[in-house]
Amino acid sequence: MTADTSAGTSAATAAWATHKRSHVGDRVLSALTVAATLIILAMLVVILGDVIIGGARVISWEFVSAAPTKGMTAGGIFPAIFGTVALTLLMTIAAVPAGVATAIYLAEYAPASSRLARAIRVCIANLAGVPSIVFGLFGLGFFISTVGKGIDDVAYGGQATYGKPSLIWAALTLAILTLPVVVVATEEAIRAVPRDVRDASLALGATKLQTVFRVVLPEALGGILTGSILAVSRGAGEVAPILFTGAAYFLPYLPTNLNDPFMSLGYHVYVLATQSPDVDRTKPLLYGTVLVLLSLTFLLNFVAVAIRARTRRRLRASL
């Protein structure tokens, strides 16, 4: 520290001193990082602990297999679990193929100077920054009032069949929300496939298409799956986008058609927390619902992490 000021210091010791100071910087930084990590971990432990302790008491076979009863102050949450799973599956079917196809175009086919590719990237970046409630409004305005109403006018003589909140519109709205993450993760995974193996394939007389489908995608599969699952699991817990597009307060029946409304875990949490006439009696149910929602999300994340670990291991074995 004093090296800069003391007069007789040779250039060599000055260099040593800066070196040492950077060590001090390293230590301060790593202490700060550790502290930040601990704070986050502590918060996570508190939240999770509270949810698990509060939720474990109400979780039972009946809770996950029965419908709510007595004005939602008793009974189970099966319709909400069913709705969330159906919603997530539909959203995945819509978002992942479209996202992967977009990423393949961006990573493999778009020329470096392509205007279209640049436009797509700008859209994706902006899409990722839009608040989720805006997606909900978009879903209402576009899918329900425009597309759904159009279908009704053409096919159902103006009778509200698709022009109302329903499973399909909520799933598509969520799909748009998830799409950017799927595209970005997939493009990264595709670009991580080394040029060497592409060249090897092309040099054997493979077409670009053959190379993409037989060499690039199989190698990128782990990364694509991991990214997609993480994106989907984030979308699965969202409430705002489905608020106006299909989620129902309470339904005596399960959705059986794409144009049925549905109950969902996230929305059910919101309903129990804010709309209940008897907070003391719904509070345990609230804990249980949150625990189920978190478990489903964690399950998805766990699958994603397991796939990533497996891919990593295979890659490491290849070195």
Partner 1 sequence: MSQSFHRLLPEEAHSALVRIAALKSDGPTPVKMQAKGLTVSYSAKEAVKDVTIDVHENEVLALIGPSGCGKSTFLRVLNRMNDTIDGVTVKGSVTLDGQDIYAPNVDAVLVRRRVGMVFQRSNPFPKSIFENVAYGLRIAGIREGGLIAQRVERALRQAALWDEVKDRLTESGLSLSGGQQQRLCIARALAVEPEVLLMDEPASALDPIATAKVEDLVAELRSDLTIVIVTHNMQQAARVSQKTGFFYMGKLVEVGDTTTLFTRPKERATEDYITGRFG
Q: Write out the residues near partner 1 by the rule CB under 8 A.
A: 111-112, 194, 196-207, 210, 214-215, 218-219, 314, 317-318
As measured in angstroms, the least distance from the Cβ of 229 to partner 1 is 22
Question: Which residue lies nearer to partner 1 by CB, 196 or 280?
Answer: 196
As measured in angstroms, the least distance from the Cβ of 96 to partner 1 is 23
Residue 137 corresponds to which amino acid? Answer: L
As measured in angstroms, the least distance from the Cβ of 187 to partner 1 is 17
Least Cα distance to 163 among 174, 175, 153 occurs for: 153
Question: Which residue lies nearer to partner 1 by CB, 97 or 194?
Answer: 194
The strand pairing partners of 69, in sequence order, are 74
Residue with tokens 């992967």: 100
Q: What is the rounded end-to-end Cα distance, in angstroms, of the chain?
A: 44
As measured in angstroms, the least distance from the Cβ of 60 to partner 1 is 47
User: Can you tell me the distance from the alpha carbon of 293 to that of 295, in angstroms, rounded to the nearest whole number?
Assistant: 5
Question: Which residue lies nearer to partner 1 by CB, 105 or 250?
Answer: 105
User: Can you tell me the distance from the alpha carbon of 69 to that of 84, in angstroms, rounded to the nearest whole number?
Assistant: 19
As measured in angstroms, the least distance from the Cβ of 103 to partner 1 is 19
Q: Are 72 and 272 in contact (CB under 8 A)?
A: yes
As measured in angstroms, the least distance from the Cβ of 203 to partner 1 is 4
The strand pairing partners of 68, in sequence order, are 75
Question: Which residue lies nearer to partner 1 by CB, 20 or 312?
Answer: 312
Question: Which residue lies nearer to partner 1 by CB, 201 or 228?
Answer: 201
Question: Which residue lies nearer to partner 1 by CB, 71 or 218?
Answer: 218
Q: Classify residue 32 by burial, with Cβ atoms within 10 Å: 0-12, 13-18, 19+.
A: exposed
Question: Which residue lies nearer to partner 1 by CB, 6 or 210?
Answer: 210
As measured in angstroms, the least distance from the Cβ of 228 to partner 1 is 21
Beta strands in the chain (DSSP E): 68-69, 74-75
Q: What are phi and psi of 160, to 5 degrees?
A: -65, 100
Q: Which long-range contacts (CB under 8 A, 24 or more apart) does 305-308 make?
A: 305/226, 307/222, 307/225, 307/226, 307/229, 308/222, 308/223, 308/226
Question: Which residue lies nearer to partner 1 by CB, 154 or 204?
Answer: 204
Please give the distance of CA 142 from its chain centroid, rounded to a whole number: 22
As measured in angstroms, the least distance from the Cβ of 119 to partner 1 is 20
Q: What is the H or E stretch that residue 309 is in? A: helix 279-317
